[in-house]
C-alpha cells in the first residue's frame, strides 16, 4: 500500500526545529521581522496570509500585514516596498501573488532587497540557487526537498521528472533536485511523449496547474509522486470523473459544492505510487514552514 507523505507532520517538524533559533535571536538581539503585502481581496490569498500570520505568532516572529486596495498603482506599491526595505527591524518582505493585472509584478518583486527576499524570487537569489550558493530558496520547492528527506526517500542517483517550468516551482524544483544529485528531466506543454517521460521517473513532481491531468498511464510502478497542484472543482461531471472511486470526496462535494484536486489523478497515485502527497495536506503546509525558516535565516544573517 502506498505511503502517504503528510505535509502537516513535516511542517510541524520544521517549525519545531527552527523555533529555538527564533527564540535565541529574540533573547539576544530582537525578534525576526516579517512584512506581508496583500493587495486587494483575493479569497485564497487572504486564507494563505492568515496562515502565515498564525505561523509567525507560533514561531515568535514579529509580523506586519499591509493591505493596499486593489487599484493601487505600481508606483505607490514600489514606495511601500522601499519603505520596508529601509526598516532595520524587518528581515523579510513577502509580496503575495498574484497581483492585480495592472501592476508590474516583476518590477515590484525585483524592488525587494535580495537580503529581505524570503520568497527567493529576486534575480540575485535565483543566481545563488543556480550556483548553489547559500541564500533563500523558493519556499514550495525547498519544502518538497525537506519532505523527501524527512521520509528518507532517496534523491541522489534517482531519476526525477518535474512537469511544469514556472519560475516559482518548476525551475527551482529541478535545480534543487539537481543539487541533491538526482538526474533531472523538466517536462512542459511542448514535451514530446510526455507519458513516456513521466513513467521513467523515480520521483515525479507535478506542477502544471491542470486538475488530475496525470493519470495512471503517467506513473511508473512504485514511483514517489509529489503533487503540487491545488485546483478547485465545482463541476459535478468533472468531480465524478476524478473521484468516482472515492465516495468520501463525492460526499464532500455534495456538502460544499466544490472539492480540491491536485494535478495528478488521486486514485492513480494510490494505486501505482509507492509514496505520494495528498491534496490537500501534502505540499501546501510546507510552503509556510519554509517561509518561516527563510525569515529566521534572514534575521540571523542580518544580525550576525
Q: Which domains are present in the chain?
A: 29-114 (3.40.50.10860), 139-284 (3.40.50.720)
pLDDT bucket at 47, cuts 50 / 70 / 90? confident
Computed from CA positions of residues 278, 283, 288, 294, in that sequence, does the dihedral angle turn out positive or negative? positive
- pLDDT > 90? residue 27: yes
Tell me which H or E stretch contains 240.
Answer: helix 236-243
Residues 185-205: what's their mean pLDDT?
97
The per-residue b/e assignment along 71-83, b for 16 or more CB within 10 angstroms, e otherwise, is ebebeebbebbee
Percent of the chain with pLDDT over 70: 100
Residues 280-286: what's their mean pLDDT?
94
Q: Tell if the pTM clears 0.85, that is, is over it.
A: yes
62 contact partners, CB below 8 Å, separation of at least 6:
30, 31, 32, 33, 34, 56, 89
Rg value, the chain, Cα:
20
Confidence (pLDDT) at 1? 81
Residues 143-168: what's their mean pLDDT?
98
Catalytic residue among 52, 116, 171, 249: 52
Residues 207-222: what's their mean pLDDT?
96
Q: In terms of DSSP bridges, do strands 159-163 and 3-4 run parallel, antiparallel, or are they unpaired?
A: unpaired
Separation CA 54–CA 46 (nearest Å): 12
Q: Is residue 16 flagged as an active site residue?
A: no
Residue 235 DSSP one-character state = -
184 close to 204: Cβ distance less than 8 angstroms: no
Confidence (pLDDT) at 219? 98
Q: Is residue 115 flagged as an active site residue?
A: no
What are the grid coordinates assigned to 188, written together? 512542459
Confidence (pLDDT) at 45? 81
Catalytic residue among 31, 91, 116, 119: 119
Catalytic residue among 31, 96, 146, 158: 96
Separation CA 279–CA 231 (nearest Å): 9
Percent of the chain with pLDDT over 90: 94
289 close to 55: Cβ distance less than 8 angstroms: yes
Instruction: Say how many CA atoms lie within 13 Å of 50 toward its Cβ.
Output: 7
- pLDDT > 90? residue 42: no
Confidence (pLDDT) at 44? 76
Q: Is residue 116 flagged as an active site residue?
A: no
- pLDDT > 90? residue 304: no
Rounded to the nearest integer, the mean pLDDT of the chain is 95
- pLDDT > 80? residue 43: no
Amino acid at each position: 500500500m502506498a505511503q502517504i507523505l503528510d505535509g502537516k507532520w513535516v511542517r510541524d517538524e520544521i517549525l519545531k526545529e527552527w523555533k529555538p533559533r527564533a527564540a535565541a535571536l529574540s533573547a539576544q538581539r530582537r525578534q525576526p521581522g516579517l512584512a506581508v503585502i496583500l493587495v486587494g481581496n483575493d479569497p485564497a490569498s487572504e486564507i494563505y496570509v492568515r496562515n502565515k500570520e498564525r505561523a509567525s505568532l507560533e514561531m515568535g516572529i514579529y509580523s506586519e500585514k499591509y493591505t493596499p486596495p486593489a487599484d493601487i498603482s505600481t508606483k505607490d506599491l514600489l514606495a511601500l516596498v522601499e519603505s520596508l526595505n529601509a526598516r532595520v527591524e524587518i528581515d523579510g518582505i513577502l509580496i503575495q501573488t498574484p497581483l492585480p493585472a495592472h501592476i508590474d509584478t516583476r518590477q515590484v518583486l525585483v524592488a525587494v532587497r535580495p537580503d529581505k527576499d524570503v520568497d527567493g524570487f529576486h534575480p540575485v537569489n535565483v543566481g545563488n540557487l543556480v550556483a548553489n550558493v547559500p541564500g533563500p530558496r523558493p519556499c514550495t520547492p525547498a519544502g518538497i526537498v525537506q519532505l523527501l528527506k524527512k521520509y528518507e526517500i532517496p534523491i541522489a542517483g534517482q531519476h526525477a521528472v518535474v512537469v511544469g517550468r514556472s519560475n516559482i516551482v518548476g525551475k527551482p524544483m529541478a535545480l534543487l533536485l539537481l543539487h541533491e544529485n538526482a538526474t533531472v528531466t523538466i517536462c512542459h506543454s511542448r514535451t514530446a511523449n510526455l507519458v513516456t517521460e513521466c513513467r521513467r521517473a523515480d520521483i515525479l513532481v507535478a506542477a502544471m496547474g491542470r486538475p488530475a491531468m496525470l493519470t495512471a498511464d503517467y506513473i511508473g510502478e512504485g514511483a514517489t509522486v509529489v503533487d503540487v497542484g491545488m485546483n478547485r472543482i465545482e463541476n459535478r461531471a468533472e468531480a465524478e470523473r476524478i473521484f468516482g472511486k472515492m465516495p468520501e470526496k463525492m460526499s464532500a462535494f455534495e456538502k460544499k459544492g466544490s472539492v480540491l484536486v491536485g494535478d495528478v489523478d488521486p486514485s492513480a497515485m494510490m494505486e501505482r505510487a509507492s509514496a505520494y502527497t495528498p491534496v490537500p495536506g501534502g505540499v501546501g503546509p510546507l510552503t509556510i514552514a519554509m517561509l518561516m525558516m527563510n525569515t529566521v535565516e534572514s534575521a540571523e544573517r542580518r544580525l550576525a
